[in-house]
Amino acid sequence: MIKIEPTGESLGATISNVDMANLDQSAFDEIHAAWLEHLVLRFRGQTLDDTSLAAFSRRFGKLDNAPIGRGGDYPIPDRPEITIISNIIEDGKAIGGLGNSEAVWHSDMTYVDMPPKASLLYGMEIPNTGGDTWFCNMYRVYEDLPEAMKTRIAGLRCKHDSTRTSSGSLRTGFAEQYSPEEQPGEDHPLIVRHPETSRQALYLGRRRNAYIVGMSAADSDVLLDEIWDHANASPHSWAQKWAVGDLVLWDNRCTMHRRDGFDDAERRLMHRTQVQGDIRPAT
C-alpha cells in the first residue's frame, strides 16, 4: 500500500512504501493521481542509479535529453537523459549546472513552444545548510488574484525569455540585450488551463526579460511587476529541505520553483531528468 503524506502546505506530499524497481500499473496510477493532486511529490531514502532514475521518469512520458555541454557531449554520455545540477568543480571544470548561487522563481524551459511537463531531481550530495528548493502552487496564486486583475490579464500573452538561466547566467550563443520584440523565446497565455486537471493557473515562467505582447515595454513592466509582486507575496509555497536519497518530482505546468544559495565550500550533487511536453500551453 502506497502511503501519501501531504505537507500540510498548499502543495507537496511525501510518498512512501514504493518499490521503484517493481512498480506495477496500479501503483503507478496512484502516484500519478497524487502528483496531479499535490503538484510536487517527494520520495525519500531512494537508492537510484541513472538507469533506474531514467526508467521511473519515463513512466511519466518521453524524456528530453540533457543539453550538450561545451565539450560536445552529454554530461553522462551513455545516459543522455541525465542532467547534472551541481557546484562541484573537477579538473577546473564545472561538472553540472546552476552552481551554488540562488536560483530565482521559475518554471522550467517555458521559453519553448511545448515546455516540459515535469522534472525529477534526485539528491546525491547535499550541503549542511542552504540549497533548499521552494515550490509554489500557481493554481492558488491565480485563484487569489483580485477579480479585476484576472479580467485584465485574460487573453494577454507573455513572451518568455530564453537567453538566461534561473541563476542569471547568459546561455551560450545569446547577446546581452535585445528589444522586447526581438527577445528570443516563445509567448504563451498568462492564464493557462492544465491539460489533465482542467484547472486554471497563472503562467509566468520567470520575471527577467519577460514581455507582454503588444504593450509598450514600460507598460508591460508595470503590469508584470504587479503580477509578480502578488506571486512573490503568495503564501502558497513549500520548501523541500534535501536529504541524500530524496527524489522530487514536480508538475512544471502549474508550479514554479526557486532555490536558496549555499556555501560554495560545500558540495551539492543532483541528477535530473525532464519529461517532454506534448502540447502548447493554452487558456
Chain residues binding ligand OGA by CB under 6 A are 85, 98, 103, 108, 119, 121, 133, 166, 257, 259, 270, 272
- Alpha carbon dihedral 105, 102, 244, 251, in 10-degree steps, equals 10
Minimum Å gap between C-beta 83 and ligand OGA is 7
Choice between 105 and 142, CB closer to Mn ion: 105
CA dist 89 and 259 (Å) reads: 20
Q: Please, are residues 234 and 136 in contact by the beta-carbon 8 Å criterion?
A: yes
When CB distances are held under 5 to 8 angstroms depending on the partner's kind, the choice from Mn ion, ligand OGA, none that residue 38 binds is none
CA dist 188 and 252 (Å) reads: 14
Choice between 119 and 237, CB closer to ligand OGA: 119
When CB distances are held under 5 to 8 angstroms depending on the partner's kind, the choice from Mn ion, ligand OGA, none that residue 272 binds is ligand OGA
Q: Cell triple for residue 51?
A: 538507469
Minimum Å gap between C-beta 85 and ligand OGA is 5
Q: In a 3-state reduction of DSSP, which class is residue 272?
A: strand
- Alpha carbon dihedral 27, 8, 256, 38, in 10-degree steps, equals 20
Choice between 142 and 242, CB closer to ligand OGA: 242
Closest CA to 125 of 86, 89, 92: 86
Choice between 236 and 272, CB closer to ligand OGA: 272
* Site residues (vs Mn ion, CB under 5 A): 108
When CB distances are held under 5 to 8 angstroms depending on the partner's kind, the choice from ligand OGA, Mn ion, none that residue 133 binds is ligand OGA
When CB distances are held under 5 to 8 angstroms depending on the partner's kind, the choice from ligand OGA, Mn ion, none that residue 98 binds is ligand OGA
